[in-house]
């Protein structure tokens, strides 16, 4: 399969702090790629750089056959990059239905609409009129993924989706990601939960101090105890 998203040579700064050092990655159509690495390794900054929310000072991002240097985040979203941030950004004073409807992106249609998203998230169907703020952490995580799907993304980016969730909800999330994957959704995620990462990913990139220090198929990563102990808190 061809790469749908590639990035290379990304150097990103927050003020004077140099955070990403020649970071690169590749995501192929239908693949699930996971960035792993300790707190502060640069996973979120990589996603923000891809979306141009934190525009890199140098480097290349190619998405859907297009060079994306300098494209504002809303244009990245229109091209089909769907970002689910770590802090979820649910709009508290709006209902579940309204939060979902806000995910619609004009000009982007496809498999996902309110009905198909609710089929995928039966819990959300039962709470359509509840306010976003009244949802539990797990419900908010499902809502934020549902909202991103409403935009019919070509690549779904999930930034540490399991963070702060109970084991039961993590299990549900795993089933959801596996289902999306079976249906052909291309997914780029970051995780500190290595068991989750191993269960859902096809390939893994390990980040350390703003760099990709290892990239390989999930099976090689699973068997590489050296890499796991050197770069991860396992």
User: Least distance in Å: CB of 12 to ligand ATP?
Assistant: 9
Whole-angstrom Cα distance, residue 159 to residue 46?
10
Number of residues this chain uses to bind ligand ATP (CB under 6 A): 13
How does 139-166 read in b/e, with b if 16+ C-beta sit within 10 Å? bbbbbbbbbbbbbbbbbbbbbbbbbebe
* 42: contact with ligand ATP by CB under 6 A: yes
- Taking the C-alpha atoms of residue 40 and residue 209, their distance in angstroms, rounded to an integer, is 7
Per CB under 6 A, does 14 bind ligand ATP? yes
For residue 164, state whether it binds ligand ATP (rule: CB under 6 A): no
Any contact of residue 144 with ligand ATP (CB under 6 A)? no
Stretch that binds ligand ATP, among 35-43, 62-70, 123-131, 137-145 (CB under 6 A): 35-43
Q: Between 21 and 94, whose beta carbon lies closer to ligand ATP?
A: 21
Instruction: Indicate left, alpha or beta for 196 from its phi (over 0: left) and psi (-120 to 50: alpha).
Output: alpha
Q: Does 44 bind ligand ATP (CB under 6 A)?
A: yes
Interface with ligand ATP includes 45 (CB under 6 A)? Answer: yes
Element containing residue 110 per DSSP (H, E): none
Shortest Cβ distance from residue 36 to ligand ATP (Å)? Answer: 9
CB 4 within 8 A of CB 155: yes
* Region binding ligand ATP by CB under 6 A among candidate stretches 13-21, 74-82, 90-98, 102-110: 13-21
39 contacts ligand ATP (rule: CB under 6 A): yes
Neighbours of 213 (CB within 10 A): 14
Burial class (CB in 10 A: 0-12, 13-18, 19+), 107: exposed
Are 168 and 162 within 8 A, CB to CB? no
Restricted to residues 180-209, the positions that interact with ligand ATP (CB under 6 A) are none
Between 43 and 88, CB nearer to ligand ATP:
43
User: Edge to edge, what strands does the sheet with 186-191 contain?
Assistant: 81-84, 155-159, 186-191, 32-36, 203-208, 211-217
41 binds ligand ATP (CB under 6 A): yes
**Window of 11-19, 89-97, 121-129, 133-141 that interacts with ligand ATP by CB under 6 A:** 11-19
Report in angstroms how near the CB of residue 44 gets to ligand ATP at its nearest: 3
The footprint of ligand ATP (CB under 6 A) covers 14, 17, 19, 37, 39-45, 86, 160
């Amino acid at each position: 399969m061809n790469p749908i998203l590639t990035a290379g040579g990304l150097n990103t700064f927050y003020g004077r702090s140099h955070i990403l050092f020649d970071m690169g990655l590749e995501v192929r159509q239908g693949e699930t790629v996971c960035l792993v690495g300790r707190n502060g390794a640069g996973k979120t900054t990589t996603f923000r750089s891809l979306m141009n929310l934190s525009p890199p000072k140098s480097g290349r991002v190619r998405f859907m056959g297009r060079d994306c240097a300098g494209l504002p985040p809303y244009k990245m979203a229109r091209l089909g990059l769907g970002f689910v941030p770590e802090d979820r950004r649910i709009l508290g004073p709006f209902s579940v239905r309204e939060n979902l409807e806000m995910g619609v992106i004009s000009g982007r249609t496809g498999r996902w609409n309110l009905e198909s998203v609710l089929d995928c998230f039966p819990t959300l169907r039962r709470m359509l009129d509840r306010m976003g703020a009244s949802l539990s952490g797990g419900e908010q995580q499902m809502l934020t993924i549902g909202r991103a799907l409403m935009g019919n993304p070509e690549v779904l980016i999930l930034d540490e989706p399991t963070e702060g969730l109970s084991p039961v909800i993590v299990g549900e999330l795993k089933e959801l990601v596996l289902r999306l994957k079976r249906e052909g959704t291309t997914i780029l995620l970051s995780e500190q939960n290595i068991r989750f990462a191993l269960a859902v990913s096809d390939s893994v990139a390990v980040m350390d101090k703003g760099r990709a220090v290892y990239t390989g198929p999930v099976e090689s990563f699973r068997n590489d105890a050296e890499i796991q102990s050197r770069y991860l808190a396992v």
